[in-house]
Chains A and B, each alone.
Chain A
């Protein structure tokens, strides 16, 4: 994680402020006909479980969703802004914004704030299906953006990505993809104290009319 020595609020070397960086695990992966995003439901403040029903996978529109980790207020604010921006984009252009448009706009907003010493303290997964196919973008607080086939965010990143790294392959079926996503997230839930209390997820597939949203109690 980065240090912001000029802003004590985000100074990771200051143990008193460590609790600002919230724990969570979210992950996204591509499969043959679409993408899946899943995340746990625990919101933590240090060792305290602040919420057992936190929502971390959000639909931005009918075919784009965002997985969030980090400072909840920052992420919620970005979700609200993105929902509005994507609706505006569609009205002004008379066509639907691609997943890349959503990712690129988020990167612009986040990097602009980072450069002004007021960073959005979030890691994001943006994914969905558009006219060019299925896409997953990963963003961090510096505003960097990269397109990935699979990735994880939050405090359980290393646990979840270890599973994805070993088991993900191109052109998985939807059922296999869901199974892999749950296996990876359950690994993080089992070994990361900041991750737990059930799983939320969303699946976009070119074969489905609407997105499949699901919840798994543990």
Chain B
């Protein structure tokens, strides 16, 4: 006879006795190993997205902030192959929405579609959760007001004013919680984000826009 018990972290579809999905915790760890990603609503018409890009003189700097559709952007933190899969899926979903309904998809609907896809990977045997968390930014199709959504590795999604994913995410979120208020102007917000990331990641030299890609979304 051999031991037939299955370890709780063997599959994402198995619960631990504490009610935890251990594979999902591992997946979150994977995204925390990825470069930091930050999103922040500055005011009703302006959103800031920032992503730390690991500097290497041999590698052409990849785009951390990716476009999904007109004025709809995502910054992902975690395993880049998983991020690429989700981003290409997001682009397809966005264009499908345009084809079927003749209008651009809303940030909420896109977050829901990606969240459901990611959740599916935590309840289906044989699959593993995504090693990626996402920040989706865009504007409400009805009133054109800024919208920012966080999508977790397990697929839970919620609207945020400011949030972070990737390395140092807990410390960055703590700092944002203390310092965030709506109505920042762009320069103040950029400086604040660079300062927060520098401190959270314990860098000696202050980070600049060379190491942290910053994108400002504006609804015209």
Residues of A bordering B, CB below 8 Å: 89, 92-98, 100-101, 103-105, 108, 131
A148 to chain B, nearest CB (A): 16
Contact of B141 among A92, A95, A104, A108 (CB under 8 A): A95
Minimum Cβ distance to chain A for residue B106 (Å): 5
- Give the CA-CA distance A97 to B101 in the complex, in Å: 9
Docked-complex contact A100 and B103, CB < 8 angstroms: yes
User: In the bound complex, do residue A92 and residue B109 qualify as a contact, i.e. CB atoms below 8 Å apart?
Assistant: yes
Using C-beta atoms within 8 Å of the partner chain, give the interface range for chain B. 10 to 19
Interface 0/1 of B111-125, CB less than 8 Å to A? 010000000000000
**Sampled A-B contacts (24; CB under 8 Å):** A89-B101, A92-B109, A92-B112, A93-B106, A93-B108, A93-B109, A93-B141, A94-B106, A94-B108, A95-B106, A95-B140, A95-B142, A97-B101, A100-B102, A100-B103, A101-B102, A101-B103, A104-B101, A104-B102, A104-B103, A105-B100, A105-B101, A108-B99, A108-B100
The answer to whether B103 and A98 touch across the interface, beta carbons within 8 angstroms, is: yes
Shortest CB distance B102–A (Å):
3
CA distance A97 to B102 in the complex (A): 11
Give the CA-CA distance A95 to B108 in the complex, in Å.
10
CA distance A97 to B105 in the complex (A): 11
- Chain B residues within 8 Å of A94, by CB: 106, 108
Cβ-defined contact, B102 with A103, below 8 A:
yes
Q: In the assembled complex, how far is the CB of residue A15 from the closest CB belonging to chain B, in whole angstroms?
A: 38
Residues of A within 8 A of B100 (CB): 104-105, 108
What residues of A have a CB within 8 angstroms of the CB of B103 in the complex?
98, 100-101, 104
A101 and B112 CA atoms in complex are apart in Å by 19
A131 touches B142 (CB 8 A): yes
Complex Cα distance, B116 from A92, in Å, reads 12
* Structural contact, A101 and B101, CB atoms closer than 8 A: yes
- In chain B, what residue has the closest Cβ to A137? B102
A101 partner residues in chain B, CB cutoff 8 A:
101-103
B142 contacts across to A, CB distance below 8 A: 95-96, 131
- Residues 117 to 174 of chain B near chain A (Cβ within 8 Å): 140-142
Cβ-closest 3 pairs across A and B: A104-B102, A101-B101, A95-B142
Note all chain A residues with C-beta closer than 8 A to B141.
93, 95
Q: Tell me the bound Cα distance from A97 to B112 in angstroms.
A: 17
Given contacts A93-B106, A100-B102, A131-B142, 5 further A-B contacts (CB under 8 A): A92-B112, A94-B108, A95-B140, A95-B141, A100-B103
Cα distance, A104 to B142, chains bound together (Å): 18
In the assembled complex, which residues on chain B have CB atoms less than 8 Å from the CB atom of A93?
Answer: 106, 108-109, 141
Instruction: List, in ascending order, chain A residues with CB within 8 A of B109's CB.
Output: 92-93
B43 to chain A, nearest CB (A): 21
